[in-house]
Amino acid sequence: MLLMPEKKTDDKQGERIAKVISRAGLASRREAETWIAAGRVAVNGAVIQSPALNVTSADRIAVDGAPLPRRERTRLFLYHKPRGLVTTHSDPQGRPTIFGALPKNLPRLISVGRLDLNTEGLLLLTNDGGLARVLELPATGWLRRYRVRALGRVTQSALDRLRGGITIDGARYGPIEATLDREQGSNVWLTFAIREGKNREVRKVLESLGLKVNRLIRVSYGPFQLGELTDGAVEEVKTPVLREQLGPALAAQAGADLEAPINEALNDKPHGISPSPPAPLRGAPPSPRKRGEGGERKSREPGEGHQRGARTMRTKRRRDRSGGPRPARPRPG
């Protein structure tokens, strides 16, 4: 097998190969680097060994022998992740994945961060690895808001102390906004808002307060809301809305291309790599919709506005058996 000579890393022309693969919507930069190390990527007919390589539009890139798809317009999708799915393209344990459950007419997508197996709610999906990377960064500062049901008792004063952050087993967690919404039997319902999204952060912080989380639903990520999106459903954010919510600075930092055409050929290919069979979908989870509940109306974050293309407001209040309010089905149109 031929090996391609490496270009010097100080080459000012073009972009790093992993970044180009990521922007094509095939994988994150980290995944692309793993593919390169495994000998799955070739440039101009020769397999490369290192991601320390700059390429230009004149170079021919192939992954697993298939030409790299032409980069299309940066797109963002809202997905209502059900419980019981892992946020990965393939799972060594054979568990069902979100990419196996998504409709097959979508382009290749990657997730903006992850939700745990038993966490449900809003997950952002994009075809642009550069955008995913920027939106995941704690420095971006986008608030992630959750609806939480937990076993035990806690006071609002104890929750207020989380505003200064907390250290658990040597790990430091930044400022947290937490509100005690109500008590229900032996459980409490909370609204929990964080900006970093570290691994199992909500569960670990609440465990430190003597609470055991038994239901966790993400209801918003930055300006994007779960709203009326039904369990397992996907909805694309319209390009004008995406442009408005990103703003020029974030769009430039991500290298987002909001002017390119949509590559319909990508929509006819399976998204992700080796997806598992889809899992059965469950009913819609609870979501806070009262004015002021969850903090959306009390203190709106920069860029957190009405989503004209996402139908995320004015939810009818209903109750499920767990006692939490849940969204109604989307209105036609």
Query: What's the whole-number mean pLDDT along residues 304-310?
Result: 39
Query: In which band, very low, low, confident or very high, does the pLDDT at 267 lie, cut at 50, 70 and 90?
Result: low
Please give the mean pLDDT across all residues of the chain: 79
**With 60 as the cut, is the pLDDT of residue 325 above it?**
no
Range with the poorest average pLDDT among 97-106, 203-212, 312-321: 312-321
Q: Which residues pair with 66 in a beta bridge?
A: 63
Predicted confidence at residue 314, as pLDDT, reads 35
Instruction: Please state, in angstroms and as integers, the Cα–Cα distance from residue 213 to each residue in 51, 133, 331, following that order.
Output: 41, 28, 32
Predicted confidence at residue 264, as pLDDT, reads 64
Structure-model confidence comparison of residues 150 and 106, the more confident one? 150
Query: What's the whole-number mean pLDDT along residues 318-331?
Result: 42
* CATH 3.30.2350.10 domain residues, the chain: 72-333
Structure-model confidence comparison of residues 176 and 107, the more confident one? 176
Predicted confidence at residue 40, as pLDDT, reads 95
Question: pLDDT (tens digit, 9 = 90+) per residue, 280-305?
Answer: 323 334 444 333 333 333 333 333 33
Predicted confidence at residue 333, as pLDDT, reads 39
> Out of 11, 116, 231, 257, which one is annotated catalytic?
116
Q: Is 11 a catalytic residue?
A: no
Query: In which band, very low, low, confident or very high, does the pLDDT at 279 lie, cut at 50, 70 and 90?
Result: very low
Q: Is the whole-model pTM more than 0.85?
A: no
Predicted confidence at residue 86, as pLDDT, reads 95
Pick the CATH number of 15-67 from 3.20.20.150, 3.30.465.10, 3.90.1580.10, 3.10.290.10: 3.10.290.10
Measured CA to CA, the distance from residue 238 to residue 73 in angstroms comes to: 12
Query: What's the whole-number mean pLDDT along residues 206-230?
Result: 96
Q: Which fold has domain 72-333?
A: Pseudouridine synthase (3.30.2350)
Largest Cα separation within the chain, whole Å, is: 67
Whether 285 contacts 121, CB under 8 Å: yes
Say which residues have a Cβ less than 8 Å from residue 300's Cβ, sequence separation at least 6. Answer: none
* CATH 3.10.290.10 domain residues, the chain: 15-67
Predicted confidence at residue 230, as pLDDT, reads 95
Measured CA to CA, the distance from residue 32 to residue 151 in angstroms comes to: 41
**Torsions phi, psi for 208 (to 5 deg):** -65, -20
Predicted confidence at residue 129, as pLDDT, reads 85
Q: Which residues pair with 123 in a beta bridge?
A: 79
Question: pLDDT (tens digit, 9 = 90+) per residue, 37-94?
Answer: 999 999 999 999 999 999 998 999 999 999 988 778 999 999 999 999 999 888 889 9
**With 60 as the cut, is the pLDDT of residue 204 above it?**
yes
Structure-model confidence comparison of residues 279 and 26, the more confident one? 26
Predicted confidence at residue 265, as pLDDT, reads 55
SS3 track for 80-120: EECCCCECCCCCCCCCCEHHHHCCCCCCCCEECCCCCCCEE
Percent of the chain with pLDDT over 70: 75
- Helix then strand count (H, E) for the chain reads 8, 19
Q: Where are the beta strands (DSSP E) in the chain?
A: 15-16, 41-43, 46-47, 54-55, 61-63, 66-67, 76-81, 110-111, 119-126, 144-151, 166-168, 171-173, 177-184, 187-194, 212-221, 224-225, 234-236, 318-319, 325-326
Range with the poorest average pLDDT among 97-111, 139-153, 189-203, 274-288: 274-288
Q: Which residue, chain included where needed, has tokens 């745990």?
A: 116
**With 80 as the cut, is the pLDDT of residue 33 above it?**
yes
Predicted confidence at residue 282, as pLDDT, reads 34
**With 80 as the cut, is the pLDDT of residue 205 above it?**
yes
